[in-house]
Amino acid sequence: MTLCPFILRYKQGDRCNKINCKNITHLNKDNNLTLHTTPYNLHNLFLAMDSQSHAELAKEIDYLYTRDHFIQYFKHYGFTLTSKQMVSKKELAQRLLQEHAKLATIHSSYVATLIKFQKIWRNKRRISSINYIDPFTLESIAEIPSAQLFSYKNPNGLTYTFRAAELHHHVLTNGSYNPLNREPISSDDTKRLTAYIETLPLKPDFENQWLTAKEAYLDVLHQYEIFGIYTKLEWFLDLSFEQHIHLFMLLEVVMKENNLLLFDLGCLEDSLRTTDLETIRLALASEMLLLLRLVHPKQFYLVCSYFLILAMVEKKIARDLPQWILNAASGLIHTHGALS
C-alpha cells in the first residue's frame, strides 16, 4: 500500500479527484499518473474526445472511477450487461468509451450542421431584408459582419436589418421607430435589441465619435433626414475650401440678422490658419448639427435658408433641391434669382 501520488506530489492533506480516494491509502499501478486535476464526468465524456486520445481517456477513467461506477452508468442508460463477474473493469471502460465515441460523432455532426444552418439563416436574413443598405453607415448589409447586425419583422411580416449599435443609439436618442419609414418598432423588438447590445464585447461610444469628415456628415445628414430633408453626401464632400468660406460668410449674415451666433467665422480660426479641408468640413458639420438642435421660432425657415445658400455656393446642388425648400426660404432670403 502506498500513499496517493496526488497527495504526495501536489496537494498534501487535500482530497484528490479520484472518486473513491479516502485521502488515506490506495493502490495505484501507475504512479506516474498525474491527471487528477481533470475530473471527468462519465455522462459527457464525449466532449473530451476532441482533445484526448482514446488510450489516454481509457487510462484516466480507469484510474478515476471504480468498476461499480461503470456498472451504475450502464444501468442508468438501460444498457444490458451479461454477467457482472465476467465483465472486467477494463472491458467496461472500453465499452463506455465506444458509446461515447458514437456520441462524439453525433455531437460534431450536430455542431457542423448547426453552423451550416446559422450561415444559411444569416444569408437568408440578408437576402430577405427589405433594405440592403444600412441607413446609418450607408454600408451594404451583405458586407457588414453578421454579429453586428440586428433584424426584426414589422406587423406586415417585412424584415428590416440594421447595424445593431447604431440602431440602438437611434432608439435611445430619437425614439423607437424605424429610421427608414418612421414606423414604430415594437417594445419586444426594442427589448431584444437592448439585450443583444449587452452581449457585444465592444460597445461603441457615440459621444465625440467623429474621426473623419465623412463620419461627421453621415451622422449629421441622417439627423437631417429624420428632420425631413434628404440630401446627398457628395454635396458636402465635393465643396472646396473656398466654397466653405463663402458658405460661412453668407450664413453668418443671415444668422446675425436673427441674433444667432451660428456659422460665425470665428470658429474657422484653426481652419484658416492651416487651410486644412478636413478641419473646415468638421466645422461645417458641427454648425449644421447645432442648427438642427436650435430652439427658435424660425428654426424651420433657417434650416431651409441654409440649403438655399448652399445651393447658391454650389450651383449643381440647386438642381437636386426640392422646390418646397426654396419656397420656404424665399421669405427670409430674397436671392432666389441667384440660383438660375
User: How does pLDDT run across 167-218, given as a tens digit for each residue?
Assistant: 998 998 889 999 999 899 999 999 999 988 888 766 666 655 677 888 889 9
- pLDDT tens column, 142-165: 888 888 889 999 999 899 999 998
Give helix then strand counts, H and E, for the chain.
14, 2
What is residue 320's predicted lDDT score, i.e. its pLDDT?
A: 82
3-state secondary structure of 136: coil
Give the chain's end-to-end CA distance (angstroms, integer).
Answer: 106
Mean pLDDT of 265-287: 82
What is residue 278's predicted lDDT score, i.e. its pLDDT?
A: 86
pLDDT score of 251 more than 80: yes
Pairwise CA distance, residues 326 & 187, whole Å:
39
pLDDT score of 298 more than 50: yes
What is residue 35's predicted lDDT score, i.e. its pLDDT?
A: 40
What is residue 202's predicted lDDT score, i.e. its pLDDT?
A: 63
Pick 21 or 34 by higher pLDDT.
21
Nearest to 167 by CA among 187, 188, 185, 146: 185
- pLDDT tens column, 50-95: 667 777 777 777 777 778 887 887 777 777 666 555 777 888 888 8
What is residue 34's predicted lDDT score, i.e. its pLDDT?
A: 41
What is residue 112's predicted lDDT score, i.e. its pLDDT?
A: 66
pLDDT score of 8 more than 60: no
What is residue 161's predicted lDDT score, i.e. its pLDDT?
A: 93
Cell 482530497 belongs to 15
Decide: 72 and 95 in contact? Cβ < 8 Å.
Answer: no
Pick 288 or 327 by higher pLDDT.
288
- pLDDT tens column, 311-322: 889 988 888 888
What is residue 333's predicted lDDT score, i.e. its pLDDT?
A: 45
What is residue 339's predicted lDDT score, i.e. its pLDDT?
A: 41
Pairwise CA distance, residues 199 & 242, whole Å:
47
- % of the chain exceeding 70 in pLDDT: 70
Return mean pLDDT, the chain: 76
- pLDDT tens column, 214-239: 888 998 998 898 888 888 999 999 99
Domain ranges for the chain: 5-107, 141-199, 213-339
Mean pLDDT of 26-50: 54
Nearest to 96 by CA among 108, 111, 79: 79
Pick 10 or 80 by higher pLDDT.
80
